[in-house]
Structure 1
Amino acid sequence: MSSSSSTQVLAEYAKSKRSSCKKCSKAIAAKALRLGLVSRDARGFDVTKWHHLDCFNFGSESVASVEKIKGFQSLESSDQESLKKLVAASDKSRGEDSNGSTHAVEGKESSQGKRVHEVDENENEEEERSLKKAKSSKCDGQAKLDVSFTISDVKDKYKDATLSPKWKAFQTIIFLERDDGLHDSSKIAAFDFDGCLANTNVKRGGADAWSLMYPSIPDKLQSLYEDGYKLVIFTNESNIERWKNKRQVAVDSKIGRLNNFIKKVKVPIQVFIACGLGKSSGQAEDPFRKPKPGMWHILEQHFNSGISIDMDQSFYVGDAAGRKNDHSDADIKFAEAVGLKFYVPEEYFGV
């Protein structure tokens, strides 16, 4: 990683076991020393990419000395010594590399007045962008679901359960009708709900049985809205289908939490709830239940005023990323099927 004035290195002990290493993708144990690269992304938010100590690239010029590591003075003395040795070793390695014969070649001017290594980097970046677009197009082609949607198909009930005002049902989806102030956009900021935006417990029902997952959520969502993003929640809730004798309770609990969440963050949000069952149920897998991309396609085809979605600026945040302690990989697979950039919540909201 090249140095940048906007990139900062942070050292701290993990507050929980929810973060994962950006290099090896494995979980970082609670209270373990972790190193983070903090940078400002295109949306203007600080994003921290956490690493195990052994996975961190100390060859980066951003870690030229331990004095540049935020939080260094708060570490235990043994960890401070370990960091000093690793930084010193990488500094020595950089010095040896700078004396190599390839260094002179990299600085050589091309006939057009640009350095050879700069041209190579630009070509590599262009190639990576082309590959990324090709991959996204391939995912879209494989996962595309044409959804026939008419007003006559929209219901005020989900099976035998009555829906709250502004909420409607379509096939196995419950959705929130256009919220006041909601604007369609080419930029979509999409989120999972449980375990991402809201801390909930499957053993506790009720509209008030939740809390904000991260204190930064309201400010982040308001900033996205002001920046022209359309905010969307895609959430699975199979209890609505599974609890046949208590379906109304399940519906009221889920919709109540979502309504209260939207009031809390004070921004309009489009919401889709997939009520169908997954493949483990013994039935045909519901096309709208994540990781299937059906909810995304109904948004794209019928709930965005025909505006083409900019996949480079749009993204999805979810906690089910297939890590060791995750309940599933539904969120990351959903993002892959659609072709969206993916973040886990602790990375995006900054744990």
Structure 2
Amino acid sequence: MNTLRFSLLPIPKFFFLNGCHPYKHRHNFSVSVNASPRPFRVILMAPSETIVAEYAKSNRSTCKACSKAIESKTLRLGLVSKDKRGYNVTKWHHLSCFPLPSSHSTSDIITGFSSLKSSDQEALTKLFAGEDQSEAVCKATEEIQNDQQESEESDSKKRKLSTSDVKAGMNIIFSVSDVKSSYKDATLLPKWKAFQTIIFLERDDGLQDSSKVAAFDFDGCLANTSVRISGSNAWSLMYPSIPDKLQSLYNNGYKLVIFTNESNIERWKNKRQAAVDSKIGRLNNFIDKVKVPIQVFIACGIGKSGKAVTKEDDPFRKPKPGMWQLMEQYFNSGITIDMDQSFYVGDAAGRPSDHSDADIKFAEANGLKFYVPEEYFGA
């Protein structure tokens, strides 16, 4: 018998160890366990925490246990909890790395269990029942990797970017030959280009790609604007601390990126040039004001809430994840983004006074930490 001695400080979450009751105060205690070459696993769970299972949408997530990347399309398990701001935070794990709760069950506690392949459901059932799972896990992983390889081989000439909305069933293919110097009938200013329903700043002077990305909405977050007034000068800084904050991020190795919706560019067919000049003019003037290089993506498409009748949401318009994924896959020099250090700031957080929840859902769809502007910049 081996004896393990623990000393616990006060912690905000309940600590479960092989079914023990939670401790809320400092305690010293001993636990005796049989010596075994197979380590036991425990999980820190608060009553509000849940477990979610899904197939990884990309290879950008990192396992919180082993710190290695979780490959796209492989089964991953996440522990979901709320941070101090009340937003959901998911800590993803490889199937073999996930710490098991003391009470084992599957479909009753795992969100997304019913949407998994039958072989993966079986693997999870055995895993949570405490059975030897190595063979089942390896088999499920091998099947998914084979599917991924076949998909990549069939598209060797062009890289495909899939949205996280499985129901949309859309694949976006980026091609340099599709990049234009105008958006439909509107001419773009120098350094600005268009791709499908996106207008983007090709390369701001001094911009450096990075594994750390600080991303922001524009209207209502960085700039105080009005939908009733157009023009490149019709804006002001949302918070006086913005220039210093952005300069500090840039000096600390962050790449600054703006993701903004602007459906008026699509709607105003008879005044499209004016809408383009107004939006791009404001962004150019903002960048000149803060004196830091920034990458910019403007989603011009219309969502289901727009007046125009569309069969489905534009894949680039927030809260769809298309703009972020386009940047990540094609506009960051192939550098893997550190999701633990990267974040997104936006004002559309679904609060009673907000016009929508597009920003917070955009952050959630891409696995980004989220802040509202008054929290990040300080009102």
TM over 0.5: yes
Change in CA separation of 1:125 and 1:265 when aligned onto 2, cut-off 3 Å: farther
Change in CA separation of 1:143 and 1:309 when aligned onto 2, cut-off 3 Å: farther
Instruction: Give, in whole Å, the separation in 2 of the partners of 1:249 and 1:146.
Output: 31
Corresponding residue to 1:244 among 251, 255, 269: 269
Q: What's 1:282 paired with?
A: 309
Q: CA deviation at 1:107?
A: 2.4
Q: What's 2:149 paired with?
A: none
TM-score (norm: length of structure 1): 0.64
> Partner amino acid for 2:92?
A
Change in CA separation of 1:141 and 1:277 when aligned onto 2, cut-off 3 Å: closer
Match of 2:92, SS? helix
Instruction: Give, in whole Å, the separation in 1 of the partners of 2:238 and 2:252.
Output: 23
Instruction: Give, in whole Å, the separation in 2 of the partners of 1:301 and 1:277.
Output: 23
Maintained 8 Å contact 1:136/1:338: no
Maintained 8 Å contact 2:223/2:237: yes
> Partner amino acid for 2:357?
D
Maintained 8 Å contact 1:136/1:339: no
Q: CA deviation at 1:178?
A: 1.0
Instruction: Give, in whole Å, the separation in 2 of the partners of 1:199 and 1:310.
Output: 30
> Partner amino acid for 2:371?
Y
> Partner amino acid for 1:107?
H
Q: What's 2:374 paired with?
A: 346
Maintained 8 Å contact 1:192/1:234: yes
Maintained 8 Å contact 2:209/2:332: yes
Instruction: Give, in whole Å, the separation in 2 of the partners of 1:197 and 1:143.
Output: 28
Q: CA deviation at 1:106?
A: 3.3
Q: What's 2:85 paired with?
A: none
Change in CA separation of 1:105 and 1:200 when aligned onto 2, cut-off 3 Å: closer
Corresponding residue to 1:267 among 269, 274, 292: 292
Change in CA separation of 1:339 and 1:135 when aligned onto 2, cut-off 3 Å: farther
Change in CA separation of 1:288 and 1:109 when aligned onto 2, cut-off 3 Å: same
Maintained 8 Å contact 1:143/1:338: no
Corresponding residue to 2:221 among 196, 200, 223: 196
> Partner amino acid for 2:91?
K
> Partner amino acid for 1:223?
S
Change in CA separation of 1:105 and 1:185 when aligned onto 2, cut-off 3 Å: closer
> Partner amino acid for 1:317?
V
Instruction: Give, in whole Å, the separation in 1 of the partners of 2:274 and 2:94.
Output: 39
Corresponding residue to 2:177 among 131, 152, 159: 152
Structure 1 portions without partners, runs of 5+: 4-58, 60-101, 113-121
The Cα offsets for residues 215-247 of structure 1, whole Å up to 9 and x where unpaired, read as: 000010011111111100000000000000000
**Overall identity of the aligned pairs, in %:** 72
Match of 2:28, SS? coil
Q: How many residues matched?
A: 244
Instruction: Give, in whole Å, the separation in 1 of the partners of 2:290 and 2:368.
Output: 24
Instruction: Give, in whole Å, the separation in 1 of the partners of 2:188 and 2:348.
Output: 28
Q: CA deviation at 1:152?
A: 1.0
- Alpha-carbon RMSD: 3.1
Q: CA deviation at 1:124?
A: 2.4
Change in CA separation of 1:203 and 1:136 when aligned onto 2, cut-off 3 Å: farther
Maintained 8 Å contact 1:207/1:256: yes
Q: CA deviation at 1:150?
A: 1.9
Q: What's 2:186 paired with?
A: 161
> Partner amino acid for 1:304?
N
Please show how residues 1-351 of structure 1 align to structure 2 within 5 Å: 106-110=26-30, 124=44, 131=79, 132-134=90-92, 142-143=164-165, 146-280=171-305, 281-284=308-311, 285-351=313-379
Maintained 8 Å contact 1:191/1:197: yes
Match of 1:247, SS? helix
Change in CA separation of 1:136 and 1:277 when aligned onto 2, cut-off 3 Å: farther
Change in CA separation of 1:110 and 1:236 when aligned onto 2, cut-off 3 Å: same
Instruction: Give, in whole Å, the separation in 2 of the partners of 1:162 and 1:274.
Output: 16
Maintained 8 Å contact 1:319/1:331: yes
Change in CA separation of 1:334 and 1:110 when aligned onto 2, cut-off 3 Å: same
Match of 2:214, SS? strand
Q: What's 2:39 paired with?
A: none
Instruction: Give, in whole Å, the separation in 1 of the partners of 2:92 and 2:238.
Output: 35
Instruction: Give, in whole Å, the separation in 2 of the partners of 1:224 and 1:143.
Output: 31
Q: Which has the higher contact order (CA 8 A, sep 6+)?
A: 1
The Cα offsets for residues 282-314 of structure 1, whole Å up to 9 and x where unpaired, read as: 213111000011101100110011111111111
Q: CA deviation at 1:147?
A: 3.3
Instruction: Give, in whole Å, the separation in 1 of the partners of 2:304 and 2:231.
Output: 27
Instruction: Give, in whole Å, the separation in 2 of the partners of 1:154 and 1:327.
Output: 32
Change in CA separation of 1:226 and 1:110 when aligned onto 2, cut-off 3 Å: farther
Q: CA deviation at 1:180?
A: 1.0
The Cα offsets for residues 86-128 of structure 1, whole Å up to 9 and x where unpaired, read as: xxxxxxxxxxxxxxxx98983215479xxxxxxxxx9628999
> Partner amino acid for 1:235?
T
TM-score (norm: length of structure 2): 0.59
Instruction: Give, in whole Å, the separation in 2 of the partners of 1:327 and 1:136.
Output: 37
Change in CA separation of 1:244 and 1:188 when aligned onto 2, cut-off 3 Å: same
| Deviates most, 161-170 or 124-133 | 124-133
Change in CA separation of 1:344 and 1:135 when aligned onto 2, cut-off 3 Å: farther
